[in-house]
Amino acid sequence: MTDRSDPLPHLLAVAQAVRREGQPRATFAALQAGMGAAIGQILFTVLLHHADSGESERVWTSHPTQYPVGGRKPLNPTPWTRQVLRDLRAYVGHTAEDIRAVFADHALIASLGCESVLNVPVVWNGRALGTLNLLHRAHWYRETDVPVAEAFAALAVPAYQMLLHR
């Protein structure tokens, strides 16, 4: 596994992907590659937040067998949903215990070798459209990763808007 690289070339690659046909797949593939290089991940997922129904929908995944695209699940009011979806602040979990405290599928996450998480909200006009979710080995993510992840998340807005208006 590689460590972090300069995020600028990867941000530019995502910005170029936003311009291509084949949306939203082109954007999500570029986000997976760019965030993987600039921040790092073993597992990458993209969740769309349906505020009207209080549900979350997986629309992209790096591991389709374990985490298939599609389907919706209800989001219960928790400190995580309050922080990420209401207060629009990223969540950084450093250990398997942090993941276990927040996610019901913690055993599956651990089976993939993931023990830390970075969930960053994709925000437009003051509301969360969803989240970009990166998971890696223990203690991988740091608070200094959050601004870079937020820059990537801003580039995801057009793809989210497309999905919300389908």
Domains of the chain, each with CATH number or no CATH: 7-164 (3.30.450.40)
Tell me: the pLDDT tens digits for 112-130?
999 999 999 999 999 999 9
- pTM as predicted: 0.95
* N-term to C-term CA, the chain: 37
Task: Return the SS3 of 52.
Answer: coil
For residue 87, what pLDDT is reported? 98
For residue 35, what pLDDT is reported? 98
For residue 166, what pLDDT is reported? 82
Whose CA is closest to 133, among 60, 25, 53? Answer: 60
For residue 47, what pLDDT is reported? 98
Whose CA is closest to 1, among 120, 94, 113, 108? Answer: 113
For residue 1, what pLDDT is reported? 41
Tell me: the pLDDT tens digits for 56-114?
999 999 999 999 999 788 888 899 999 999 999 999 999 999 999 999 999 999 999 99
Helices (H) and strands (E) in the chain, counts: 6, 6
Residues of the chain with pLDDT > 90, as a percent, come to 92
Task: Tell me the β-bridge partners of 56.
Answer: 49, 73
Cβ–Cβ < 8 Å for 26, 58: no
For residue 63, what pLDDT is reported? 97
The alpha carbon dihedral of 135, 163, 31, 63 has a sign of positive
Task: Quote the CA–CA distance of 15 and 154 in Å, as a whole number.
Answer: 10
Tell me: the pLDDT tens digits for 21-61?
999 999 999 999 999 999 999 999 999 999 999 999 999 99
For residue 76, what pLDDT is reported? 85
